[in-house]
A and B are shown apart, each in its own frame.
Chain A
Amino acid sequence: MLAIGKVRFVGEPVAAVIGADQLSAQEALDKIKVEYEELVPVLDVESALAPGGVLVHGMDYIGGAFRGFDDFPGGTKNICQAVHVEWGDVDAAFASAAHIAEGEYYFPMVYAYAMEPYVAVADYDSKGQLTVYSSAQHPFMVRHDLAEIFDLPLNSVRVIVPYVGGGYGSKSYTKIEPLTAACSWKVSRPVKLQLSVEEAFLTTRSDDARVYIRTAVDDSGKLIAKQATIHLDTGAYAENSPMVCRKAANRIVGPYRFPHVRVDCLAIYTNTVPASSYRGLGAAQITFPVESQMDELAHKIGCDPQEFRLRNLAHSGESIHPGLRPIDADVPGDIRLAAETLRSNGPLALKHGRSVCCSCSDAGAHPVTLAMVHVYADGSVSVMSGSTEIGQGSHTVLAQIAAEEMGVPLGKVRLVGSDTGVTLFERSTGASRTTTLMGRAVMEACREAITQCKSMAAELLGVPAGEFTEERGGIRHGKDWLSWPEIIERYFQMEGCGIIGRAYLRRAGALKAVPVFWEIGVVGVEIALDEETGKISLDTLVTVGDVGLAIHPAMTESQDLGAATMGLGIGLFEELIYEGQQLMNGTLLEYRVPRFSDLARRVELKLVENHDGVGPYGAKGGGEGCVNPIGACLANALYQAAGVRIRRLPLTPERVWKALQEQKSQAPASQRKPPAAPKTDVTKTTA
């Protein structure tokens, strides 16, 4: 909550003032003088790992059920988590490889800007009931943490999350709720804590990533081995970077068949703002190196990059990770669709470049999702969901599912939640899980309510249930038709009555295999390069959402566009800049997020619906995938446009210009030409 004894990053709260209004609280705050004794900070991964260096923490990381990790004894080395993934014989494979590409890549620290900064209202009442209204993404995790911190039983902590103004990962896990609750406990009154955008910048950020990666192919151009070392700068506290660390290590394999893999991923403490979830959870960080290197390797062996991908992509039903769910998507088809759409732009103009890249994430997180529906005698339905509506539109989609199942108009369905005092447990709202897991839970809860209605009908009609048929919204028995609400009213002989249907999903049955589903990100771009300034602009953006079924197509497309636009920010200009221990650009004036004017001239949002997910009607999650491939798309397209390869994001105009200068100084004027490697349009594919 507050730094005790030692402040580990600039922005860590050191004191709290409670005031009757904002201004007087501010004036009291201005009167606090803090004396700091300056300690030697650890400001980057290199010095954090240096032997004998300063330790950010003297203790080990403590995991826990929600974090999904064992405790990690790394505290003596500034390492908060280490993940090792290995199969096959990597060293032998590299020794026998026909070609190898290797390189180091850097993905910057970025901030998941949401229009609504963190806010919480806590009311710790005299009876020991703690009620917190919060902008948290995962109310049940916050409840868990509050119950632990204040030593309260779960039934004494109620976390209510109204509509949230965006999160993109930045609002997952517990943030300002414990401090707000402590303040309320202190004054026995409700207390509100609201951060400004500038303070939100100092609350959480993404892990940056230094990635060394090498990839080997045999003489037929088949991928045989991958080896990678990932160093994540996790900042001053672990938050949920241990999970980012795990996911980055898993996801670096991509949707490709690799017989031999070895990955080491470290999450490392430094004295900077703590890192946490960022849309894609580790996938954006590693897709940039993976998909950049796929192009580099393709060029090295003289193969068209798309052809090279298609040759090595896992098909639906094939396994990419031993022991995990086989691929439940058509990645080659998705790539072809993106490439064909880009190709319809016609011949490539001068100083333009194109690229299609993909990512593959073990999504859905741990499947524990409980839901209930109230079916009322007046024909209305309430869906009680612990999923947070954070702008992604889940309240709409869940209502659609309930309306479909109960056979009522959408307008008759209302969502309740999330509210830990009212709605059943849902582990989290993240990892693109809500449609798949909560959607499935709502569907099953509706079906359970229908089963109850059918027993009631059997009793009312005095016939076995087998003698009537279920029709949308009710049952038919001979000439009679009874709707579910009618059955409920007649059964209880009471107006205003209602029943509950419920569903408990856990890791069993169709949800036994992990991940819940593979989230695929496929993006195509065409860029235009201003060679004089180095400025890249986006000409065309193609997203492909391989979502099984788009229950609400417009919102599914918007999620893809939003994710791609976020990726564009990192690709072109977003980067948190530290000088010493100070964050230098933690305001929206200095930290640039994408604007409408940055969007592509042509935007094509494609949906692929193969009903291959475990969610309702074959649906799978979406919304994170398209953030991941953009950085590599831009770097690959830049290579095609100008022949320079940049292994660090963002591709700022100055960085591009410098690379072009370097290229000119290396090649004599007579040899200067656009890239030698892609002889053909990189988006050309075989059918």
Chain B
Amino acid sequence: MTTLSRFEIDQPGSVAEASQMLGHYGDQAAIYAGGTELLLAMRHRALSYKHLIDLKVIPGLNAIKARDGVIEIGAACTHRTIESSSLVREMQPVFAELESQVANIRVRATGTLGGNLCFAEPHSDPATMLLVLGATVWIESARGTREIPIEKLIAGAYANHLAPGEILTRIVVPCGKSNHRAAYMKFQIHERPTLGLGLWLETLDGGRTFTAARVAVGCVSPFPHRAPVAEALLTGSRAEVEKHLPETAALIADGADLVDDHEGSAEYKRHLVDVFLRRTFLKAVGLRISS
């Protein structure tokens, strides 16, 4: 039976110390924030580290707080913590619902949101939805702290834009408002989703017209893509938006860099974008989905 190689767990007392450790060990170390993906990759020899720096023991990194219309989620919060947080359920229910559907209960109880985003597994549910919710992330290191939009964090499949020594410490999610409509849906046959589609709409008249929109699709390509060109077609009267959904879906698919893989051909994924854009739209505006 293949087993993990020897490694050490380092337990820093603060983010600054964790950052120092990263700088000290260089390529020999990785941040350990749940390990649901990392340890699997290490067991299969896809990755190898002598040191794992345990983010979960740093005080405060597993807190969820509300502040000025946003929710701040500590990077070491588990999916389970987020899905059961009354704060998230109240302030951004669509994200709480998404978190309750991530992988399975064992992964949710151990895996963290920060770990999920930094590991950048192409089938991440939260990454896709955070793109459309307009989330930002805080990145800390000895050089200071910077806040960047989530788009700037994910670089590709299994790749992020963190510089050496930098640590993702919190995820900032704008709260939902009564004039927002949002939904996330996924299509899943295998252990990981085949497609995830997130949609956010703003309406000033109870859903008759939409003044702003964001849409993103994940799992179908190496990393989740927002589709700014398509978003223009999601504003305007509801009838117009609905009429243009097939065209909108085509634009989303065009921009998503669809790939053929074991989850399906690019052609099938293009079709699924179309099906799930309509379903997600209907779910977001609160209608029953037929079929």
Contacts and interface: CB of A to CB of B under 8 A. Distances in A.
Given A590-B190, A654-B265, A532 B5 contact: no
A654 B268 contact: yes
B189 A535 contact: yes
Given A590-B191, A592-B190, A23 B272 contact: no
A151 interface: no
A590 B268 contact: no
Q: Which of B1, B6, B44, B189 has the most CB of A within 10 A?
A: B1
B3 interface: yes
B63 to A, nearest CB: 31
Interface string B166-187: 0000000000000000000001
A71 interface: no
A199 B2 contact: yes
B5 A26 contact: yes
Interface string A520-544: 0000000000111101000000000
Interface in A184-232: 194-196, 198-199
A585 B192 CA distance: 13
A657 B189 CA distance: 14
B127 to A, nearest CB: 18
Contacts of A117: 1
Interface in A213-271: none
B262 A589 contact: no
B262 A22 contact: no
B238 interface: no
Contacts, number: 53
Interface in B254-291: 262, 264-265, 268, 271-272, 275, 291
A26 B2 contact: yes
Q: Which of B6, B191, B264 has the most CB of A within 10 A?
A: B191
Interface in B183-234: 187, 189-192
A198 B46 CA distance: 14
A83 B101 CA distance: 50
Contacts of B264: 653-654
Contacts of B189: 535, 573, 592, 652-653
A532 B191 contact: no
Contact of B291 (A195, A530, A654): A530
A301 interface: no
Contacts of A533: 187, 272, 275
Nearest to A30: B5
B1 A532 contact: no
A117 B1 CA distance: 10
B191 A588 contact: yes
Q: Which of B6, B40, B268 has the most CB of A within 10 A?
A: B268
A129 B136 CA distance: 67
Given A23-B6, A532-B291, A654-B268, A194 B1 contact: yes
A589 B265 CA distance: 19
A590 B5 CA distance: 23
Contact of B1 (A199, A535, A573): A199
Given A533-B187, A590-B191, A592-B189, A27 B5 contact: yes
A533 B272 CA distance: 7
A577 interface: yes
Contacts of A62: none
B191 A573 contact: no
Q: Chain B contact residues (Cβ within 8 angstroms of A): what range? A: 20 to 34
A469 B5 CA distance: 71
B262 A590 contact: yes
Contacts of A30: 5
A196 B192 contact: no
Contacts of A348: none
Contacts of A195: 1
A657 B274 CA distance: 14
Contacts of B265: 654
B287 to A, nearest CB: 16
Contacts of B192: 589
A654 B271 CA distance: 10
Contacts of B190: 573, 590, 592
A422 interface: no
Interface string B13-51: 000000000000000000000000000100010000000
A267 to B, nearest CB: 28
Interface in A559-596: 573, 577, 584-585, 588-590, 592
Nearest to B1: A196
A584 B261 CA distance: 11
Nearest to B271: A657
Contact of A531 (B5, B6, B40, B291): B291
Q: Which of A22, A27, A199, A654 has the most CB of B within 10 A?
A: A654
Contacts of B44: 198
Interface string B73-87: 000000000000000
A535 B191 CA distance: 16
Contacts of A657: 268, 271
Contact of B3 (A22, A532, A535, A653): A22
Nearest to B261: A584
B276 to A, nearest CB: 9
Given A23-B3, A592-B190, A585 B271 contact: no
Contacts of A23: 3, 5-6
Interface in B63-115: none
Contact of B191 (A589, A653, A654): A589
B1 A22 contact: yes
A198 B2 contact: yes
B125 to A, nearest CB: 16
Interface string A131-168: 00000000000000000000000000000000000000
Contacts of B268: 654, 657-658
Contacts of B272: 533
Nearest to A535: B189
B262 A577 contact: yes
A23 B1 CA distance: 10
Contact of B2 (A196, A584, A585, A592): A196
Contact of A26 (B3, B191, B262, B291): B3
Given A23-B6, A592-B189, A592-B190, A584 B291 contact: no
A584 B262 contact: yes
A589 B268 CA distance: 21
A654 B262 CA distance: 11
A125 B2 CA distance: 28
A532 B1 CA distance: 42
A59 B268 CA distance: 45
A195 B272 CA distance: 38
A30 B4 CA distance: 11
Interface string A633-658: 00000000000000000001110011
Nearest to A577: B262
Contact of B262 (A199, A535, A585, A653): A585
Contacts of A588: 191
A92 to B, nearest CB: 46
Nearest to B45: A30
A592 B291 contact: no
B195 to A, nearest CB: 9
Contacts of A27: 5-6
A570 to B, nearest CB: 14
A117 B2 CA distance: 13
Given A23-B3, A654-B268, A658-B268, 6 more contacts: A23-B6, A590-B190, A592-B190, A592-B191, A653-B264, A657-B271
15 contacts: A23-B3, A23-B5, A30-B5, A194-B1, A195-B1, A199-B2, A532-B275, A577-B262, A588-B191, A590-B190, A592-B189, A592-B191, A657-B268, A657-B271, A658-B268
Interface of A: 22-23, 26-27, 30, 117, 194-196, 198-199, 530-533, 535, 573, 577, 584-585, 588-590, 592, 652-654, 657-658
Interface of B: 1-3, 5-6, 40, 44, 187, 189-192, 262, 264-265, 268, 271-272, 275, 291
| Nearest 4 CB-CB pairings of A with B | A196-B1, A654-B268, A532-B275, A592-B190
